[in-house]
Amino acid sequence: MRRPATALLLAAALTALSCPPASADDGGGAEVVLPVIPERLSTQQKCTSFRGRAAPDAPWTRGALALDQVWALSRGRGVTVAVVGTGVSDASAVLAGRVEALGDADRDCVGRGTFQAGLIAGAVTAGQGFAGVAPQARILAVRGTGGRGEPDPARLAAGVRRAAEAGAGVIMVTAPLDSRDKAVRAALGAAARADALVVVPAAADSAAPGSSGATPPPAPAPPASALAVLDTGPRGDRPDPAPAFTRADLTAPGDALVGPGPVGDGKWTGSGASLAAAVTAGTAALVRSYRPELTAAEVRERLLRTAYPGDLPALDPYGAVAGVTASAAPTAAASADPVRLPAAQDTQGARTTALLVTGGAVGTVLLVAFVAAILPRGRARKWRPGRPAD
């Protein structure tokens, strides 16, 4: 099975460029500016209660990821994706009835976990252009932060372990994991034994609070068995400035994304590497649904092998599901250009052959011209050679 034609991919990338990153058309020609989903809340902030805004148009990611094409093959049915983060609310229609929670993870005071879950498995609904990457997958909500989104490495590691023990096929983590942490290594070991693919952001979503004036250190190196993902925007490059990272395996859309919030059916916008991890986790669910015989390690390898080549490979959901390697496909990964054309092949031999053929043709033409000029003179001389002048 072959991926959609290159022209389709080029059109999708160009379509993405024309879409405003944090706004949408409300259907009547008026621009809708979407609120930004918070990453964490201060002690003075109340839980997120705004209902978002209506945004019926499809976000840029739907075309850039060719979701309508890949849904003809897989929609993630039968796969459970764990979201280890701020919790997940199923109040939004795009998640209703498909969220199971461990403990208090059914409450999302911040809203970011619900946004991530929507990117992974938001349902296709009438009159709405938004949908998650794997709209028929199920979500397992696992607490991985404090109630207001406070970073908690120990809780993240425990969340990965709990998600693996609960049977999730894919585990998406909201913050970078440190491979030097013994609890993290133990949690990744539990995930490997449970055959669960762990997808993590390679960088923080934003600089740590209070770090202004100083360059924050890069995120720690993630565990080798985890799939570490960086965020890119509609042009295929990261926002400037963007939090630093130590190691990454893959890039995926993570800038100016559209998704649901914890209350109502309105839409929000958000950016960050954790959102790119959510998009990648949704793609992993598509693969695990389409090819259930593949192990987590094989799904990880498939996502990397079929990605668009670049400084870092760029996620290709259709290629991952269909198993088509993107060796000659355009890529926007880690580049400021909207579309990167395939690298020029070595054509030295072809050029040499062309020069020889061209030279032979030119020689033939000259020979014919020479004969045409000399032949009448030869006939006039009755084919006798001329004598040198005295």
Query: How many CB atoms lie under 10 A from the CB of residue 147?
Result: 15
The pLDDT assigned to 216 comes to 86
Query: How many CB atoms lie under 10 A from the CB of residue 102?
Result: 18
The pLDDT assigned to 16 comes to 36
The pLDDT assigned to 212 comes to 58
Global pTM? 0.78
The pLDDT assigned to 23 comes to 52
Residue among 156, 178, 148, 153 nearest 39 (CA): 148
Residue among 141, 147, 219 nearest 184 (CA): 219
Give pLDDT < 50 ranges for the chain: 1-2, 4-22, 27, 328-390
d(Cα 100, Cα 353) in Å, to the nearest integer? Answer: 65
pLDDT digits (tens, 9 = 90+) for 72-129: 999 999 999 999 999 999 999 999 999 999 999 999 999 999 999 999 999 999 989 9
